[in-house]
Amino acid sequence: MKQFKIAAVAILLATASQSTMAQDPFDYKVDRFADIEVLRYQVPEFESLSLDQKRLVYYLTEAALWGRDILWDQNYKYNLPLRSLLEQIYTSYTGDRNDPQFLAFEKYLKQVEFANGIHHHYSTDKFTPEFSREWFESQAEGKNCPVLTEVTEAIFNPSVAAKRVNQAEGEDLIVTSANNFYDGVTQQEVEDFYAAVKDTTDLTPVSYGLNTRLTKKDGKVVEQVYKLDGYYSKAISRIVDNLTRAMTYAENDAQRAIIARLIDFYTTGDLATFDDYSIRWTEDTASRVDFINGFIESYGDPLGMTGSWESIVNFRNDEASHRTEVLSSNAQWFENHSPVDPRFRKDKVKGVSAKVITAAILAGDAYPATPIGINLPNANWIRAQHGSKSVTIENITDAYDKAGQGSGFNEEFVIDEPTRELLEKYLFITDNLHTDLHECLGHGSGRLMPGVDPDALKAHGSTLEEARADLFALYYLGDPKMLELGLLDNPDAYKAEYYKYILNGLMTQLMRIEPGKDIEEAHMRNRQLIAAWAYEHSKKDKVIELVKHGGKTYVKINDYKALRDLFGQLLSEIQRIKSEGDYAAGADLVARYAVKVDPKLHKEVLDRYATLDIAPYKGFVNPVYTAVRDDNGTITDVTVSYGEDYLPQMFRYSRDYNGLDD
């Protein structure tokens, strides 16, 4: 599971103290187009790694970059030939680069590169080109594209592959979703297929469908497995090559065995091997360098089964990890005091290990848009028996905050000066703590009743799981335990995160939604669910109000303690829904609070945002790692540089890591 930056709300960090600090000479801003801003991040302390650790990081980053094209193909079956054609047109264009048609084309290209395909990375709606079909067809002439008709239709015909992930209740979610996890099969056929292979009495089930594409052969539904000599074999062989080299420089035997098991998994496609790998990976808390590499998150599949390929290579930030160590060493205390029915608590919270990390590379589904916190593995039984590993990526949150200073957001949306001061003082720390709590305790807390199918909440599973983790974090942020543990130094600090959360959930996250559209993405649904539920249930006592000043709407929180109680109540109910697999109650909560948007308020938010020029979405280019080699080809050093721009990086990756090209 992953946690994203909470939109622009966390950009309110233009604090007086920071503005008096010495100017940070690092250039965070790389590119700005459509609803996107591209940033760079630094990799502090890379130089402090030993030579072997640097070599390990280097080969792991190579293994990460070689998976890029898998993700592109998973997102939509014509994404790769389409990208190749767009890049050919862009690089060979000899006309006027200020021509409106070319500028519109450039914008579209940048959007497609950012989204790893033709669908918006967040809304999953298809991009609408602002250049003409005639212009495009004249440019495509003479270029190499074996599926030109399909690609042109995909770009220009709004009814072709309109949405990557369709979650609309009542429709065939497989047929109407353009992702490439399924081909030529219906939702009913997919559900029947897995109902037949799933053993519901198995207490340690594999993650069915995690690494497969479902299609039909001779009228029968069959799985195509992502593995060596299977689907995506070419890219996987390059990943395996680099993992094999990385293994030589593993920090210890446990880590060497982890990489070996991952290679086994890629070789066989066997999901039980993946579980074994995941358990070993979860239990390795000693190694400083760490990585995610594989088919991990299933947000891209409307049925939440198949994993999108991703990789993040990282190393522990020892100083900042103190915070998460304090949380995880008190995990049982938090579990025992959680406001849920004791039957749904874990008797023993197992190995919730948490650390703050420095990302060295972002790849696949984690690039360029990237999470700020991750908690893995996703398999429920592994989490219950072996715990999970939770990380907060602080060099990424740091880059967000530095790049966002002085945006004018807080002046526009925060109700008054005292609240702004509260946010300026405490939002950075409470926001990071929220992520720590969400990832390292929230997802890991609670348990399912015996016999409850972990997928019982179906299409609403992700939304409710994120809500559960967020509520756990919100509830405990306001607990005196935070002060007792030395994690906060002021009993009012939590109010900063509460204010931001409600403001975002009720109003400001709407800047990401087009007029007339519903909320669809799981994290956004979860945030509105929590904020709208709390608002609805506090009307009588006016805990939260929406007030008007000068025609503008503001969130006013009158009673933070009462709000904390509301968070506790909703946590208790959502934990019950999860523990009992109460689909109907879960679906009802989502339908009532998470999806629909008040069109008047929505318009107001969009209008107010338009005056600020804040990009609703952000992502990152990676640093460039260069291996310095001696005459024998042995790596004697690895250097890191930051100068690469957005499209040049994309084109380099397309050229040098074209893992599926024949």
Binding residues for Zn ion (CB under 5 A) = 1, 3, 466, 469
- CA distances 550 to 407, 416, 419, 576, Å, are 21, 13, 18, 43
Which residue, 289 or 384, is less far from Zn ion as judged by CB? 384
Q: How far is the CB of 408 from Zn ion (least distance, A)?
A: 29
Which residue, 3 or 528, is less far from Zn ion as judged by CB? 3
Which residue, 3 or 273, is less far from Zn ion as judged by CB? 3
Residue with the closest Cβ to Zn ion? 1
**Degrees (nearest 5) of the Cα angle 432, 433, 436?**
90
Cross-strand bridge partners of residue 358: 315
Which residue, 46 or 476, is less far from Zn ion as judged by CB? 476
Closest CA to 177 of 293, 310, 269, 298: 298
Which residue, 1 or 39, is less far from Zn ion as judged by CB? 1
Q: How far is the CB of 334 from Zn ion (least distance, A)?
A: 16
Which residue, 122 or 413, is less far from Zn ion as judged by CB? 122
Closest CA to 500 of 401, 406, 424: 424
Which residue, 113 or 365, is less far from Zn ion as judged by CB? 365
Q: In which region does residue 451 sit, left (phi positive, over 0), alpha (psi from -120 to 50) or beta (all else)?
A: left
Q: Phi and psi dihedrals of 153, rounded to 5?
A: -60, -40
Q: In which region does residue 584 sit, left (phi positive, over 0), alpha (psi from -120 to 50) or beta (all else)?
A: alpha
CA distance 135 to 158: 18
Q: How far is the CB of 442 from Zn ion (least distance, A)?
A: 7
Q: How far is the CB of 3 from Zn ion (least distance, A)?
A: 5
Closest CA to 316 of 270, 284, 341, 344: 284
CA distance 14 to 366: 27
CA distance 446 to 459: 20
- CA distances 332 to 327, 338, 353, 576, Å, are 10, 10, 12, 19
Closest CA to 153 of 75, 91, 100, 78: 78
Q: How far is the CB of 475 from Zn ion (least distance, A)?
A: 15
Which residue, 124 or 378, is less far from Zn ion as judged by CB? 378
DSSP letter (8 states) at residue 306? S
Secondary structure class of 87 (helix, strand, coil): helix
Q: How far is the CB of 443 from Zn ion (least distance, A)?
A: 6
Q: How far is the CB of 375 from Zn ion (least distance, A)?
A: 6
Q: How far is the CB of 416 from Zn ion (least distance, A)?
A: 31
Q: Count CB-CB contacts under 10 A for residue 114.
A: 24
Which residue, 382 or 469, is less far from Zn ion as judged by CB? 469
Which residue, 206 or 469, is less far from Zn ion as judged by CB? 469
Q: Count CB-CB contacts under 10 A for residue 411.
A: 12
Closest CA to 410 of 560, 614, 214, 104: 614
Q: Token digits for 276? A: 């074994």
8 A C-beta contact, residue 606 and residue 550: no
Which residue, 102 or 299, is less far from Zn ion as judged by CB? 299
Which residue, 1 or 361, is less far from Zn ion as judged by CB? 1
Q: How far is the CB of 440 from Zn ion (least distance, A)?
A: 11
Q: How far is the CB of 307 from Zn ion (least distance, A)?
A: 16
Which residue, 459 or 469, is less far from Zn ion as judged by CB? 469
Q: How far is the CB of 502 from Zn ion (least distance, A)?
A: 19
CA distance 161 to 177: 7
Which residue, 86 or 469, is less far from Zn ion as judged by CB? 469
Q: What is the 3-state secondary structure (H, E, C) of 439-463?
A: HHHHCCCCCCCCCCCCCCCHHHHHH
CA 567, 570, 574, 575 torsion: positive or negative? positive
Which residue, 335 or 466, is less far from Zn ion as judged by CB? 466
Closest CA to 86 of 115, 124, 123, 122: 115
Q: Where are the beta strands (DSSP E) in 418-516?
A: none
CA distance 413 to 609: 9
Q: How far is the CB of 372 from Zn ion (least distance, A)?
A: 10
CA distance 432 to 542: 29
Token pair 């033709």 is found at 118
